[in-house]
Amino acid sequence: MQCPFDIKPRWERRKDARPQELLAAALDLFVERGFASTRLEDVAKRAGVSKGTLYLYFTNKEELFKAVVRENIVPAIGEAEDAIAGFEGHSAELLRIVVYTWWDRLGATKASGIVKLVMAEANNFPDLAQFYREEVIVRASTMIGSMLARAVARGEFRPVDIPVTTQLLISPMLMLMMWKHSVGPCEQSALDPHTFLEAFIGMALNGLCAAPPVPAGGPAPIPGA
């Protein structure tokens, strides 16, 4: 991402890195405390700068929040899109890959906290919601939809209502992220993510894979594997 010839003295690189450091600090604190409870002074302190400096890079708290969303969620969408575009194998395997890629890249990371936070704060920031819809939801849905379309076209999944099935597939993944960051923690009966995802994939493939219906049994009977 960084041109190797663009060498700068360390202190100047430092300057260029400021926004990144601020975004990283903001990510941590927003996830940890929520939007309202995060104080910009703490963000600045964690990034090692003063409060005033933050305002050199971000107009206000709301813009900082939006930048954190852009920085942490949007790229992951692009990666997933690329993964799907280049995949050649059976769609059941693709589904599994998409789910686990998503988990590794978003679900298991701090970015999941941002997803939760957007859900929580979308009402308070209409244009953030707008941005999020366009840059994240639409693209993610399109991506899942295209995966489903490919599978149906190749005869690997039954013909399904693609928009609805898309939502249905997204639900448990969203749920897992929400859970982690709201009432989930502190609960004794916390879900084991891996078990949950396996059950989810199993049930999804059971419902999606073409005839003959998958014989009951294990969580993920992948025919093409």
Partner DNA sequence: GATGAATGAGGTTTCATTCAT
Partner DNA sequence: GATGAATGAAACCTCATTCAT
Residues 175 to 214 in contact with a copy of itself, rule: CB under 8 A: 175, 178, 181-183, 186-187, 189, 191, 195-196, 198-207, 209-214
**Half-sphere exposure of 207 toward its Cβ, with a 13 Å CA cutoff?**
12
Q: Residue 144: count other Cβ atoms within 10 Å of its Cβ.
A: 24
Q: Give the footprint of DNA on residues 108-167 (CB under 7 A).
A: none
CB nearer to a copy of itself: give 21 or 57: 57
Per the CB < 8 A criterion, the answer to whether 131 and 114 are in contact is: no
> What residues between 35 and 94 interact with a copy of itself by CB under 8 A?
36-37, 89-90, 92-93
> Least distance in Å: CB of 171 to a copy of itself?
4
Q: How many helices (H) and strands (E) does the chain have?
A: 11, 0
20 binding DNA? (CB under 7 A): no
**Per CB under 8 A, 107 contacts a copy of itself:** no
DSSP 124: G
Q: Which residues 6+ apart lie within 8 Å of 126 measured at CB? A: none
Of 2, 7, 9, 188, the residue at the interface with DNA (CB under 7 A) is 9
Contact 186, 137 (CB under 8 A): no
Q: Which does 39 bind (CB under 5 to 8 A by kind): a copy of itself, DNA, none?
A: DNA
**Strand, coil or helix: 103:** helix
16 or 79, CB closer to DNA? 16
Q: Interface with DNA includes 52 (CB under 7 A)? A: yes
For residue 37, state whether it binds DNA (rule: CB under 7 A).
yes
